[in-house]
Amino acid sequence: MSDVIEIAATTTLLSTRGLSVHYGGVTANADIDLTVDAGEIVGLIGPNGAGKTTFVDAVTGFAKSSGEVRLDGERVDRIAANRRRTAGMARTWQAGELFADLTVAQNLAVAVQRVGLRALISDVFTGSRPPAGIIDEALAMVGLLGVADRRPGELTLGQQKLVGVARALVGGTRLVLLDEPAAGLDTHESREFGAELRRIAATGVGILLIDHDMSLVLDVCDRLYVLDFGRVIAAGSPTEIQDDPAVVAAYLGSPEVQADSLDDGSAAERSAAERSATERSATDGPADEPGGGAR
């Protein structure tokens, strides 16, 4: 492939410049410059409390931030969360759960119902609901079209996690930000989940993936950013990240620790939790999920 074609084929879907978020005295995000291209899976990793969820909150309009956020070149940092969603960016929530009493298709439908009084009144009179086509399209993207009428309890955990992703893909989403979407999956399920993410990215969707499962992120991501105390401390390919002494130090608290220890996500998480307990206790605010699944 010639250089010309390669340049023409790359669309930067998400780009942030100097994105910062402050919670009282805590700098949760500091000057973050990050990009995600169409068709790319970009990992965002870092110890507990590093600012990963905050970054997703800021990009999608759920946290007050300064700096620039662009979606496909257009500034979106001054528009409300629902308008950013309509413009083509969507997120999942760290503890995002499905409605157990609704079918898979209904779980997707409620995620795209319009909000606001005017929409409510017009929906009552017109009986309007999201067209089945866009629900089916999102389910097909995650390979779950066949279970549209089942309830979440009838699905495997891996399938339930994919419904969570499909919910964010509904309505022509071009950029999706996934906050620990594979939490709770075992190694095999996690690998399958990763393969599904690759298929989604192959359709041209840009994916920002947050996860503590190191084998998943190193396996599935094209590039990674590492956050620590709200700052990007490293960025690059999975190989570059694994060998970066600053990353090893951030995760394990000591530069002497071997880089291949990063393969053990649980150890990294444990070490980070111990670190945050000792280093952050003086400054931490509440770590609640803003919005708690509301849209």
Helix (H) or strand (E) holding 140: helix 132-141
Task: Write down the residue that tokens 């960016």 correspond to.
Answer: 89
Given candidates 16, 35, 54, 159, which one binds ligand ATP under the rule CB under 6 A?
54
What span, in angstroms and rounded, lies between the C-alpha atoms of 234 and 228?
9
Q: Show contacts with Mg ion in window 49-78 (CB under 5 A).
A: 52-53
- Give the pair of three-digit tokens for residue 231: 């700052």
Does the protein bind ligand ATP through residue 52 (CB under 6 A)?
yes
Identify the sign of the CA torsion 85, 129, 142, 164: positive
Question: Which partner, ligand ATP, Mg ion, none, binds residue 73 by CB below 5 to 8 Å per kind?
Answer: none
Is the distance from CB of 244 to CB of 234 less than 8 angstroms?
A: yes
The span of 49-57, 113-121, 162-170, 244-252 binding ligand ATP (CB under 6 A) equals 49-57
Question: Which partner, Mg ion, ligand ATP, none, binds residue 54 by CB below 5 to 8 Å per kind?
Answer: ligand ATP
Task: Identify which of residues 80 and 287 has a Cβ nearer to ligand ATP in the complex.
Answer: 287
Given candidates 13, 19, 40, 51, which one binds ligand ATP under the rule CB under 6 A?
51
Task: Write down the residue that tokens 């291209």 correspond to.
Answer: 37
Q: In this structure, are strands 89-91 and 175-179 parallel, antiparallel, or unpaired?
A: parallel
Question: Which partner, Mg ion, ligand ATP, none, binds residue 249 by CB below 5 to 8 Å per kind?
Answer: none
Beta carbon of residue 4, minimum distance to ligand ATP (angstroms, whole number): 39
Q: Is 286 exposed, middle or buried (0-12, 13-18, 19+ CB in 10 A)?
A: exposed
What span, in angstroms and rounded, lies between the C-alpha atoms of 74 and 14?
9
From the list 93, 103, 171, the residue with the least C-alpha distance to 134 is 171
Q: Show contacts with ligand ATP in window 77-136 (CB under 6 A).
A: 94
Task: Identify which of residues 33 and 72 has a Cβ nearer to ligand ATP in the complex.
Answer: 33
The span of 66-74, 75-83, 148-156, 286-294 binding ligand ATP (CB under 6 A) equals 286-294
Does the protein bind ligand ATP through residue 43 (CB under 6 A)?
no
Is the distance from CB of 162 to CB of 135 less than 8 angstroms?
A: no
The site for Mg ion (CB under 5 A) is made up of 52-53, 94
Residues within the interface to ligand ATP (CB under 6 A): 23, 26, 28, 46, 48-54, 94, 280, 284-287, 290
